[in-house]
Structure formats: C-alpha cells, structure tokens
Amino acid sequence: MSPSRPRPFSRGAGNPRGTDDPAAQQQGPPRSRWLRGALPRPVTLAERIENASVLDRVTTALAEAVRGSLRRRGAADLLHGVPLGQPAHPPLVQLPIGCWASAALLDLLPGTSRASRALIAAGVAGAVPAAAAGLADWSELHREQQRVGLVHAASGAMATALQAASLAARVTGRERRGKLLSFGGLTAAAAGGYLGGHLAFRLGAGASHAEPVAHLAPLGWHDLCRVRDLPNGRPVRLPLGYLNLLVLRRGTEVRALADQCAHLGGPLHQGRLASSGTDLCVVCPWHGSTFRLSDGAVIHGPATARQPAFDTRITASGLVQVKPRA
C-alpha cells in the first residue's frame, strides 16, 4: 500500500496569514471525520486486498481448477466473451443486480410481494452464468488482480446466498425476514460491485491493453527496416516511434501487429506461431490469447479486443514500410 501524499496548504481565504504562520497552519480548514482517517477509505481496503499474499494459496488452487474445467476452447471463448468482442461478465452481472435492486424498491410498496419474489428468483438464476463468466476471466488475471477478484467473487456468492435465503423466507410466509435478508444481499452485492470497479478501472482487468496505435502512429507509410534484416519465419519486435511492433517475414510476405497484447499487455513477439485453418496466428506467451496475423482478429481468448494490425509493403529498394490499418 503506497503512503498517502500530504495535503499542501495554500495561501488564500482559507489561510489569510499564509503557510509560514504556525498558528494559521494549526487552524487550517476543518477536515471531515472521513478524511481524518477515522474510517478506512474503500480504496485503501481494496489496496490492502491487492497486497494480501495470504490469499495466494487459495487463488492459485482455484485458478488451476477453473482453467482445468475450461479445457474446451469453445466454452472458454464463449465465457470470455470472444464472440461479443468484449468481456461477457460485466453485461451478465447487470441482470441479478437489476432484479435485486428492483425487488428492494418494490418492498417499499404494499401489495408487491409476489413481484418481489419473481425478481429475486430471476436474479438468483441470472447470477449463475454471470459467476461462470467472471470465474473464466478471473482465472487468467495477474496475482494482485486475482486477490481482489477472489474477494469480489466471495461478495457475489454471499449476495446470491442471502437473496436465495430471502426467497425461501418469503415463500414460507416470513416476509419481514425475507426483506432483511434481501437488503443484506444487496449490500454484499454493492461491496462486490465496488471491488469489481477497482478491478476494471484501477487494475485494468478486462480493458484492452493494446497500445493506442491511432494516437501514437501518424497516418501514412513509415519506414521500418530493410527486408534482408528480418529473419525468415521468426517473429521479432521492432520500434516504430513510440510503438513496438511484432513483425514476421515469411519469404517475401511481411505481417505486423502491435506487440503489446490486448489482454494484459504480454509481449507477442515472444509467443509461438500457430495455424487456425489456413490462417497463421500468434499465441501470447502469458495467457494464450491467439490473434490472426493478417488482421489481428481474436481467434481464441481470454483476449476479446482485436490486436491492432498494420498494412505492410516492400519497396523496390527492399525497404519494409508499414502504416496503421484503417
């Protein structure tokens, strides 16, 4: 956990005597109890989970079990969201959250117990595919991400269990108990949702990690290297301004992709070549994402975002030129 930076004082209306006056420094603007550290900020708790190495034994065993159960490429790609072009877990998780939140609102109104039960049941059913997709993505994350993801998944499991218990209580006529359990489940889901946001936005899980080619590579053709300097049949990494490219020559044909894998930034030039039908592909050495070299399309996940591709040509003088593909 990185130490918090001290808040500097500023001259102005809040401190008319300036920062050089000790009395003015002591008075300062009033700080809320939250900022004084009386309660831990949510982000601080999330960072503590990132550094909780005690979770590693569980995450390692569970990740291996999940990967072992997803040996079939088709099922794994479907759960990762490869056909959608983006992770499947975020949209799937909206169903149970939406159902449970709607049921909580209906609980405030009279005569809505039947509708609330139906919404809670739909949410519990929808939590199953959402959890399956989340576990598939989680099994291919880095260590710190998996630590946070484990607690995120535990929160989701607790929310589902509490909602299922709420449904059972309502069916047996214990409406008050059912409403309390439902509120507890929604609270657990909210905590898990915060950790899910931490995973997505602070730790970059699920986002495309491919270099932003459109912003870093100007339009038009760019000289890269001489074709005779490229080994035949072996991918290499070459710089193009701020970018790094995976470049492969096979005879007189040259292919080029952005080298930083869209999944979690792995070095594609260190990956192995593979065939998918008549297409030549590269397999990321970190998590096995497979991209077609001709256009960067995703053949197998866990990556869901296309790898940026470059058009190539060889000039009459034997110079390889590339440009970003539109």
From residue 50, alpha-carbon distances to 133, 144, 188, 200, 263 in Å are 22, 5, 19, 13, 20
The predicted pLDDT at position 1 comes to: 43
- Listed in sequence order, the residues at least 6 apart from 48 whose beta carbon sits closer than 8 Å to its beta carbon are 1
Q: What is the pLDDT along the chain (326 residues), one digit of tens a residue?
A: 444 444 443 434 444 444 445 444 455 555 555 445 555 688 999 999 999 999 999 999 999 999 988 877 678 999 999 999 999 999 999 999 999 999 999 999 999 999 999 999 999 999 999 999 999 999 999 999 999 999 999 999 999 999 999 999 999 999 999 999 999 999 999 999 999 999 999 999 988 898 888 677 777 899 999 999 999 999 999 999 889 999 999 998 999 999 999 999 999 999 999 988 888 999 999 999 999 999 999 999 999 999 999 999 999 999 999 999 87
Q: Is the bond preceding 90 in cis, omega lying within 30 degrees of 0?
A: no
Place of tokens 């008075």: 27
Q: Distance between CA 16 and CA 152 in Å, rounded?
A: 47
Single pTM value for the model:
0.81
240 in helix, strand or coil? Answer: strand
CA geometry: angle 91, 78, 260, nearest 5 deg? 85
CATH of domain 213-324: 2.102.10.10
Indicate the domain borders of the chain. 42-202, 213-324
Cβ atoms within 10 Å, residue 216 = 14
Amino acid code (one letter) for 292: R
The predicted pLDDT at position 211 comes to: 81
- What is the distance, to the nearest Å, from the Cα of residue 217 to the centroid of all Cα atoms in its chain? 25
